Amino acid sequence: MSNFSLSSKSAQDIAIMTPRGYINDIGAERLESTSEQFLGDGLKKLVVNFSDVQYINTIGLSIFLSMVQKTMEYKSLLCFTNMKKDHREIFEMAGLIKHVKVFKDEKDAFAYLNGRN
Amino acid sequence: MANNSMHVRRLMFSMASLVDLGQEATSAKSLSAKMKSALYVITGAFSVPTAALFIYHPRRKSLDLLVAKGHRDKALDKLSLSVPAGQAGQFRINDPHTVRELAKSFFFKRNKNSFTKLQARVFLPLFAKGGFIGAVMLGQKLGNAPYRKGDKDVLRIMAHQMAITLHHSQLFLELARKASENRRLFHNMRRIYNDTIQAFAAAIDAKDGYTRDHSYRVAHYSVAIARELGWKKKAVEGIYVAGLLHDIGKIIIDTKVIKKGRKLTSIELTEIRKHPQISYDILSKIKFPWNNIDNLVRHHHERMDGTGYPHALQAKDLSEGVKILTFADAFDAMTTDRPYRRRLGLDEAFGEVMKCCGTQFDEKITKTFFNLLLRELSGVKKKPRILPLLEHLDKSGFSTAKSTATVRKPAKSPVPKRTSAAARTIGRRTAAASGTAA
């Protein structure tokens, strides 16, 4: 995974992860480990911003699958924002979309998450 | 209509998954990285959070875990499933088996705990070239969604591709292992070979206390000169071996003659002069990995002026290797004690070599040797190769400036046409000392 990168931050009780580039290699497992770290630190609201994601394949899906599984185990919330149409379609096809909340952008996601305990 | 659209999309998705798997199969990753990626493709394609891939070991009759996904238990790393004799033949080739289908098998019963730990729902045996080579275990789909009918067909294709990938990677690893083993054996044999040659050299030198380590030094002088002349590694190795074995023919020369401190009789001289040819006769029977070892040793007493032996060859008929060996042999004879005289100091040896340059020794070889020695003495050459061999020698009077001028200057005719009386003496004596009276 040469052109994958990930930035992350947390604000109050929300963790925001912004992956960039191609999510098509096990190198992108950093997404999974980072989200697990946030969950382990007690943050129960996770946001993934897809605005800079260029491509996701089945390996990428597998990584998101683990993230979804972990958030279910931790009884936490996982939100996706800024998804392109083809991103959304692939998540729908894999049956992942029903386990996450999808928002137009981070602002909408924050509004939703701030209204929840 | 909506169903049709969904069907096409699922088909497209399955095809994309197979393309992803194909890309991983042909990647340059290591076996475990490749198979981990392949496992991720399957888990992503079927939305299965937990899965594991095993490699089959026919001798141990076990399926050993190679990679797993979604399992945090470290104990699983060493997980191994026992495969009862005859079980592999009962699996359907590259066809997914539900755990329910396997429930009555001895294989399942024996490994029930492992199936439970891995939350396995589907067991996918991997076959390549008719042989059982591994298996994939898939857990429950996310949210306990059921496996669809079409999943089985896609899994079958994926199993086939994974099996081929695994098989090829294993073949490659086996090949790499064998290549590494061969390299190790080659290095061992080479070491034994070198040790044997050195043991022979020691045996030759042990025949006469005065020539102790003579072969070792001749070999090292020769290597130093050959390297200076830009010889390739293999050729340098060759002259090293020739240096070590050049006197092997002395083994069958009467020790009394070799050790005699007084002037040799003509019979003794004839006897001792046989040793280069005997060396040749011995070494020509050996198929060395280096060229011309036998000829190098046969001619190490030839001279530039054609008065050497056994064939009185002219300079033009002598190879560079012979010229190096001739020089190294004589130089060591001059600079070590002999029964009939004490060794020369470096300055004296230099003077004598220069006098014999062109008649006994080749000019280019002589210059190469002394220029290297000067660089070592002045510290320009950081890793000296000659100096450590001359520790026993008096180096006083060997002026760097003088020697440089003498060695580097020999413009038109640095070589005396006639050998001086002293040089002739030293030539004779060194020749006799190394069993070779001139």
Rounded to a whole number of angstroms, the distance from the CA of A110 to the nearest CA of chain B is 26
pLDDT digits (tens, 9 = 90+) for B420-434: 343 343 334 334 433
CB burial of residue B123 (10 Å; 0-12, 13-18, 19+): buried
Helix (H, G, I), strand (E, B) or coil at B248: helix
Q: Looking at beta carbons, which residues of chain B come within 8 Å of A98?
A: 143
Please indicate, yes or no, whether residues B74 and B14 belong to a single structural domain of this protein.
yes
Instruction: Judge if B132 and B256 occupy the same domain.
Output: no
The CB density around residue B412, as the number of other CB atoms within 10 Å, is: 5
Q: Which residues pair with B127 in a beta bridge?
A: B132
Closest of B302, B300, B320 to residue B311, by C-alpha: B302
Do both B133 and B276 map to the same domain? no
Optimal mutation site among A58, A61, A70, interface B, most CBs of chain B within 10 A? A58
Is residue B219 located within the same domain as residue B353?
Answer: yes
Separation of alpha carbons A35 and A71, rounded Å: 9
Which domains are seen in chain A, by residue range?
5-108 (3.30.750.24)
pLDDT of residue B257: 86
Our CA-based measurement puts residue A103 at a distance from the nearest CA of chain B, in whole angstroms, of 22
B306 and B346 share a domain? yes
A77 contact B CB<8A: no
Burial class, A40, CB count within 10 angstroms (exposed 0-12 / middle 13-18 / buried 19+): exposed
Tell me how far apart the alpha carbons of residues B167 and B433 are, in angstroms, rounded to a whole number.
Answer: 67
pLDDT number for residue A26: 83
Angle at Cα B179 formed by Cα B177 and Cα B185, nearest 5°?
Answer: 105
Are B250 and B133 within one domain? no
In this predicted structure, what is the pLDDT of residue B361?
96
B211: domain CATH number? Answer: 1.10.3210.10
pLDDT at B419: 40
Distance CA B401, CA B410 (A): 15
What does the pLDDT read at residue B116? Answer: 92
The closest of A98, A74, A90 to A15, measured between CA atoms, is A74
Contact B98, B78 (CB under 8 A): no
Based on the fold, state whether residues B47 and B122 are members of the same structural domain: yes
Q: How many CB atoms lie within 10 A of CB B407?
A: 21
Quick count: other Cβ atoms within 10 Å of Cβ B371?
A: 15
Considering only CB atoms, B40 lies closest to which of A26, A90, A96, namely A26
Q: In this predicted structure, what is the pLDDT of residue B402?
A: 53
pLDDT in tens, B320-342: 999 999 999 999 999 988 777 78
A26 part of contact set with chain B, CB < 8 Å: yes
Non-local (6+) Cβ contacts of A104 within 8 A are: A81, A82
Q: Does residue B172 sit in the same domain as residue B235?
A: no
Residues of chain B with pLDDT under 70: 1-3, 6, 397, 399-438
Q: Which of B41, B42, B47 sits opposite A94 (nearest CB)?
A: B47
| B265 and B353 part of one domain | yes
> Residue B420: its pLDDT value, please?
38
How many Cβ contacts (< 8 angstroms) between chains A and B?
69
Residue A1 contacts B where some CB pair is shorter than 8 Å? no
Distance (Å) from the alpha carbon of B119 to chain A's nearest alpha carbon: 14
What are the pLDDT tens digits along chain A (117 aa)?
Answer: 458 999 999 988 899 999 999 998 888 889 999 999 999 999 999 999 999 999 898 899 999 999 999 999 999 999 999 999 989 988 988 889 999 999 999 999 999 998 876
**For residue B372, what are the domain limits?**
207-433
Number of independent structural domains in chain B: 2
